[in-house]
Amino acid sequence: MTTDYLIVGLGIAGLHFCEQLEAHKKRFIAIDNDGVAATKVSGGVYNPVVLKRFTAAWNASKHIDAAVGRYSELEKKLETSLLRSVPVYRIFKSIEEQNDWMVASDKQELSRFLASEVVPNTFRNVKAPFGFGKVLGSGKIDPSKLLAAYKRYLTQKKALRTETFQYELLQTQDGSFQYKDIKAHRIIFSEGAAAHLNPYFPKQYLIPNKGEYLIVHAPQLDLDVILKGPMFVIPLGNNNYKVGATYSRDDLSTHPTQEAKEEIVAKLQAMIDCDFTVVEQIAGVRPTTPDRKPLLGSLAATPGMYFFNGLGTRGIMNAPTLAEQLYRHIEHNETLSEEIDIRRFY
């Protein structure tokens, strides 16, 4: 079978690249092993603000506008609801933080994202004596629902194989690639943190970072916004909340740990004043990089082989724009900016 593109790894990176290929009527086959994708466990939050420092996230306006548009299109295409616009309420720790927020909300790049007044705390069971800063333009998608729906869609199109890609079986021939019965003109590797197993990928450019969430049931919490204090508290409906996430560079397994559970419980108790029970614990590994920018493009060694990785902590928001940039780079020879080009580390 001959195809234009072979995509290895169908997390949020692979998915948005497939969307580009569909939009431009290219043929493709995606291979994914249905492993613990970071995308599947992620909070699915798109948030244009760095909530520690009250600054705009990298290229926030561009990324967020494209992301909201793409996820809305995906909702229609997959006939499922995925996207919800919901504000993030950042708990202020002090009067000084309130003042810093006000100053930030006056800045040009932030004025559309930061409400300029302090929101008083009217939640019965949230501890926030200094109130909240309200982020505008934020929201969430349901990432595991999206992946499941997209995989069903590709399966119907006969464009998905559920298996582990075996790198040793890949052959390059006359500028194209042969993998088992598939002949592809180009190959895109988008395996997230699992790329460290890829012999073609420069492993030193990835710094995998494990994150864990608890799903808790808290009938008296009654939150309809995303709360941000020492942890994110993300409403899931039915009085369930996703709480996290932790950060660890030491243990890179995808197993939940007791240590993370204790950390999340203690931090949640510092934020809320009501009972909760832990329903589930999940873990995944973020593909972060030394300079917190993605890794896109090719290395000189193998023409036709491309990487789409390094989405770090903001893959949900950034992947749609980056997929488009990578597509234009490959198909129209547009230069990738140095800050995202994988060759910048050479």
Ligand X SMILES: Cc1cc2nc3c(=O)[nH]c(=O)nc-3n(C[C@H](O)[C@H](O)[C@H](O)COP(=O)(O)OP(=O)(O)OC[C@H]3O[C@@H](n4cnc5c(N)ncnc54)[C@H](O)[C@@H]3O)c2cc1C
Binding residues (CB under 6 A) for ligand X: these are 8-14, 31-33, 35, 37-39, 41-45, 164-165, 190-194, 211, 213, 244-245, 284-287, 309, 311-317
**Which of 98/144 has CB closer to ligand X?**
144
Q: Are strands 83-85 and 139-141 parallel, antiparallel or unpaired?
A: antiparallel
Q: Which of 338, 314, 337, 142 is nearest to 236 (CA)?
A: 142
Residue 320 CB, shortest distance to ligand X, in Å, is 11
**Which of 105/209 has CB closer to ligand X?**
209
**Which of 165/276 has CB closer to ligand X?**
165
Residue 3 CB, shortest distance to ligand X, in Å, is 16
**Which of 186/314 has CB closer to ligand X?**
314
**Which of 193/231 has CB closer to ligand X?**
193
**Which of 121/240 has CB closer to ligand X?**
240
Residue 166 CB, shortest distance to ligand X, in Å, is 8
Residue 51 CB, shortest distance to ligand X, in Å, is 12
SS (H, E, C) the chain: CEEEEEEECCCHHHHHHHHHHHHCCCCEEEEECCCCCHHHHCCCEECCEECCCCEECCCHHHHHHHHHHHHHHHHHHHCCCCEEECCEEEECCCHHHHHHHHHHHCCCCCCCCECCCCECCCCCCECCCCCEEEECCCEEECHHHHHHHHHHHHHHCCCEEECCCCHHHCEEECCEEEECCEEEEEEEECCHHHHHHCCCCCHHHCEEEEEEEEEEECCCCCCCCEEECCCEEEEEECCEEEEECCCECCCCCCCCCHHHHHHHHHHHHHHECCCCEEEEEEEEEEEECCCCCCEEECCCCCCCEEEEECCCCCHHHHHHHHHHHHHHHHHHCCCCCCCCEHHHHC
**Which residue of the chain is nearest ligand X when measured via CB?**
11
Residue 104 CB, shortest distance to ligand X, in Å, is 21
Residue 100 CB, shortest distance to ligand X, in Å, is 24
**Which of 29/45 has CB closer to ligand X?**
45
**Which of 9/131 has CB closer to ligand X?**
9
Q: Which of 5, 40, 3, 10 is nearest to 190 (CA)?
A: 10
**Which of 133/312 has CB closer to ligand X?**
312
Residue 337 CB, shortest distance to ligand X, in Å, is 19
Q: What are phi and psi of 184, to 5 degrees?
A: -125, 145
Asked, as a colleague might, if the bond just before 194 is cis with ω within 30 of 0, I would say no
Residue 90 CB, shortest distance to ligand X, in Å, is 15
Residue 300 CB, shortest distance to ligand X, in Å, is 23
